[in-house]
Amino acid sequence: MTATTSDSYRRILGVGTPMVLSSAAVMAAQLGVTALIGAMGPSALYVRSVYMPVSYLFIAVTTGLAVTLQVVVARSTGRGERATAPGHLLHVACIGVVLHLLLGVVLVTLGGPLADAVHIPSGERGAFLRFLAAMVVGTLFGLLGELGSATLRGLGRTTVAAGVTAVTLVVHLGLIVLGVLTHQGLWIVPVAAGSAGVLEIALVLMLLARREGLRRPRGRLTPDRGTLSLVGTIGVPVSASYLVLFLVSLLLLRIVSVGGPDVVAGFNLGYTLQSALIVPAVAFGSAVALLMNQRLGAAEPTAARALFHKGLRITLVAYAVPTGVLLAAPDALAAALSTEPQVREALAEFLTVAGPAFGCTGVALMVLTVLEQTGRGPLAVMLNVFYFAVVVALGLNVVDGPGDVPRLYWVMCAAAAVALAVVVPLGLRTAARLRPPPAATPGLPRPRRGVRP
Rounded percentage of the chain residues whose pLDDT exceeds 90: 11
pLDDT single digits (tens) 236-278? 777 777 777 677 877 888 888 888 888 888 888 888 788 778 8
Confidence class for position 128, pLDDT limits 50, 70, 90: confident
Mean pLDDT lowest among 8-22, 78-92, 113-127, 264-278: 113-127
pLDDT single digits (tens) 321-356? 888 888 888 888 888 877 778 888 888 888 999 888
Burial of 16 (0-12, 13-18, 19+ CB in 10 A): buried
pLDDT score for 46: 74
Which of 73-82, 128-137, 177-186 reaches the highest mean pLDDT?
Answer: 128-137
Report if residue 448 sits inside a domain. no
DSSP string, 250-298: HHHHHHHGGG-HHHHHHHHHHHHHHHHHHHHHHHHHHHHHHHHHHHHHT
pLDDT score for 73: 86
SS3 state of residue 450: coil
Report if residue 280 sits inside a domain. yes
DSSP code for 338: -
- Tell me: pLDDT of 445 over 50: no
Report if residue 451 sits inside a domain. no
In terms of residue numbers, what domain contains 140? Answer: 3-435
pLDDT score for 276: 77
Report if residue 106 sits inside a domain. yes
- Tell me: pLDDT of 40 over 60: yes
CA distances 403 to 120, 370, 408, Å, are 21, 39, 11
Report if residue 107 sits inside a domain. yes
Report if residue 7 sits inside a domain. yes
Span 112-117, mean pLDDT? 74
Report if residue 452 sits inside a domain. no
Give me the number of domains the chain comprises.
1
Confidence class for position 404, pLDDT limits 50, 70, 90: confident
pLDDT single digits (tens) 275-327? 778 878 888 888 888 888 878 777 788 888 888 889 999 999 989 888 888 88
Report if residue 443 sits inside a domain. no
pLDDT single digits (tens) 147-175? 998 899 888 888 888 889 889 988 988 88
What distance lies between CA 135 and its chain's CA centroid? 17
Confidence class for position 97, pLDDT limits 50, 70, 90: very high
